[in-house]
Amino acid sequence: MTSSISTSAPPSVIDCRASRQRKQIRVSYANSNRQYDHRVMATYNTGMMSNGWAFSASASRRWATEGYQPGTFFQGNSYFVSVDKKFGTKNLIDFTFLGAQSERGRTTGTYLEMFKLADDKYYNPNWGFQNGKVRNSSISRQHQPIAILRFDHDFSEKTHWITAASYQTGPRGQTGIDWYNANDPRPDYYKKMPSYYGASEPTFDTERADGQAAFLSTSEANRQLDWDGFYFQNRANSVNLSNVNPAAVGLQSVYVLANRRQDNTEANFNTILNHAVNDRFTVQGGGNYQYYKGENFNIVEDLLGGDFYMNYDKYAERDEPLDPDFKQNDVLNPDRAVKQGEKFGYDYDEHIRTGSAWMQGQLVLSKIDLFASLTGGQTEFWRYGNVKNGKFPDDSYGKGKTHSFTTYGLKGGLTYKISGAHYLYANAGTMERAPQFRNAYLSVRTRDGAVPNLKTEKTKTAEVGYLLRTPYWKGRLTGFYTTIADQTTTRSLLINNVFGNISLTGMDERHMGVELGLEAKVTTSMTIQLGASAGDYIYTSNPLLYEYEDNDGSPLVDGSPAYYKNLRTRGPQSAATLTIKYDLPKHTFVNLIGNWADKSWYDMIPIRHTGESVAKLDEYPALRTAALKQVSAPSAYTLDFFGGKSWKIKRNFLYLNIGVANILNNRYQYGGWEASLISTKLVPTADMDTASLPALGYLNKTTYANGITWFAGLSYKL
């Protein structure tokens, strides 16, 4: 009996060794209207051959000129190669190399107001027309292959040793529009919303709001990026800045397409020893080490018709126009005229080192099974700045402070066997883990300063349950209770039209609920499966909030409480799925799946839940109540179908699989988040208590799930 709480070093979910792949040659083609339209794939496995060698290889390609949502596309290639060599009966060496290269045009959520103006639940603000062709500004590209070398050795029938090392590296980035001395180009920028126009006057000028609504709703072009306009403005901006840089002569781009890169290099080493002391007692132990370096920087992807782009901080120049160094993104290379493919803006590296050791034991008795595990580790990380920022010359360049954390974990559990069909179990654990690098810094793009009072994140968890196993019924009922304390989170966003970060420390959560899984073999050909979860996931503290702009070392908020206590964490808190599986004659099957989710609470923006923000509405009780009310998406449901059939053709097989998701075409909101806007224009007027929250800047963003989607795949196995 295996505990439902995993051990510190669980076995691999996917076994990549060539000798474990079924011997076959398989080719397939699939067609879909989801993220991609077409997929071709080929696989070749030898299985373990008499000479002790095994080979496995697979490759696939997926593509779509436009995905399910407007302005999106997809191009992807993946590959896998594995080679095994067996030495005698006790040793096996495996080398695996795999990777996936992809490029896709992205979509994003936006204001509910904008979805209504577009009359389109799949409105995508990331694209526009250039010379009559669709062009997406947000393109995600990545290719980070991984190589794995593994050694398996059997000391005896009771003792097995596995050691593996891996190395992964490659580029990853996402493009977006950057601008200098120009207007914000985003079609859904909050100042372009009718609600903002309505809030621009103390009396909430509905005439201006209605005019902007008409402007956006009557023309698709007004709701999309103006690529032709970017080129026009760049080609009209001829300058001579030879007094600061001889290369800065010609067309200075005010708009460029930037590629925000997050390249990384990662090396891992793991070793596991498994020993069966006797038929009842088994022990395992092992250790692992991880080296990680993440490179974070911007490059100019496209100058959009210009000749160069100045490496200045546009926000810093606005704040300190008389200081020539303050606006420099790198005072070691001032006044750079950046060309296509060159770096600009921020440039820093993440360095993370993690090592741990663990051990576990399992005892199997006639009526009780027991397990216990212990792990201990050390994590350290630091920032390395590759540029000297003009705003923070003493705290941005070179190696920053090293942050070290000692971590541990302790888990244990037991299973009581009432009979061969009925079991009771209980598991518990306590553990600590280091804060994540990206959550640990107040403004990691520009300087080394860390969030005050960084601590390890502490988790305590317990579960009890009942397990049923009979020839016709299988089921599991579990009750769980988990607390998570001393969390630190940081998110980047625009603050007062300036990029910055908001950090929370001392954030605590409590998760409790029940989960049910049930499978009934109704007839020899029909099976019904039910899965359900009902939980209560809340914040149990008021964390401290720190708010910093990238170009200012003085905090906007310095440790004020954010009123999170008793509010719900993000995501659905109740969910269920019901599957009816039917096996038809002649190797045919059909599945009908119903899904339901409820209480999908929006992600909260901390600055909307501070005392300063709440105080602005103290004189307007109705607005105050509405502004602080937590928002959730409506309950959602889908009905899906999946089926297949196979044919034997001599010694070969042909397989057909068909899937249709969301048959009822339910285009539901599947989540959202509070926007970071809070109006500064609150003035006493007669209609304040009847004004809408959007008119005061309290906007939310959301996304919609796809409607009907389908997939059909045909494969041939030799």
Confidence (pLDDT) at 39: 97
pLDDT above 70: residue 6: no
**How many helices and strands, by DSSP H and E, does the chain display?**
7, 39
Confidence (pLDDT) at 113: 87
Closest to 327 measured CA to CA, from 335, 564, 442:
335
Calculate mean pLDDT across residues 286-296.
Answer: 98
Calculate mean pLDDT across residues 639-664.
Answer: 95
**What confidence tier does 658 reach under pLDDT thresholds 50, 70, 90?**
very high
pLDDT above 90: residue 311: yes
pLDDT above 70: residue 407: yes
Residue with tokens 């196979």: 646
List pLDDT tens digits, range 198-216.
554 445 567 888 898 999 9
**What confidence tier does 673 reach under pLDDT thresholds 50, 70, 90?**
confident
Calculate mean pLDDT across residues 184-190.
Answer: 90
Confidence (pLDDT) at 584: 93
Q: What are the distances in angstroms from CA 285 to CA 9, 11, 273, 353, 432? A: 9, 12, 5, 21, 19
**What confidence tier does 13 reach under pLDDT thresholds 50, 70, 90?**
low
List pLDDT tens digits, range 329-388.
999 999 999 999 999 999 999 999 999 999 999 999 999 999 999 999 999 999 999 999
What gap in Å lies between CA 642 and CA 590, rounded to an integer?
A: 6
List pLDDT tens digits, range 427-447.
999 999 999 999 999 999 999
**What confidence tier does 695 reach under pLDDT thresholds 50, 70, 90?**
low
**CB-hemisphere CA count at 13 Å for 514?**
5
pLDDT above 50: residue 12: no
Confidence (pLDDT) at 497: 66
List pLDDT tens digits, range 73-83.
999 999 999 99
List pLDDT tens digits, range 26-82.
999 999 998 899 999 999 999 999 999 999 999 999 999 999 999 999 999 999 999
pLDDT above 60: residue 10: no
List pLDDT tens digits, range 521-545.
999 999 999 999 999 999 999 999 9
How many other C-beta atoms lie within 10 A of the C-beta of residue 644? 15
Backbone φ and ψ of 138, nearest 5°: -110, 95
DSSP states of 304-339: TT-SBEE-B-HHHHHH-TT-TTTTBS-TTSTT-EEP
**Cβ pair 554, 546 in contact under 8 A:** no
Percent of the chain with pLDDT over 70: 93
Confidence (pLDDT) at 439: 95
Calculate mean pLDDT across residues 260-281.
Answer: 97
**Cβ pair 168, 148 in contact under 8 A:** no
Q: Which residue has the higher pLDDT, 465 or 563?
A: 465
**What confidence tier does 5 reach under pLDDT thresholds 50, 70, 90?**
very low
**Token reading at 390:** 């003009």
End-to-end CA distance of the chain: 38
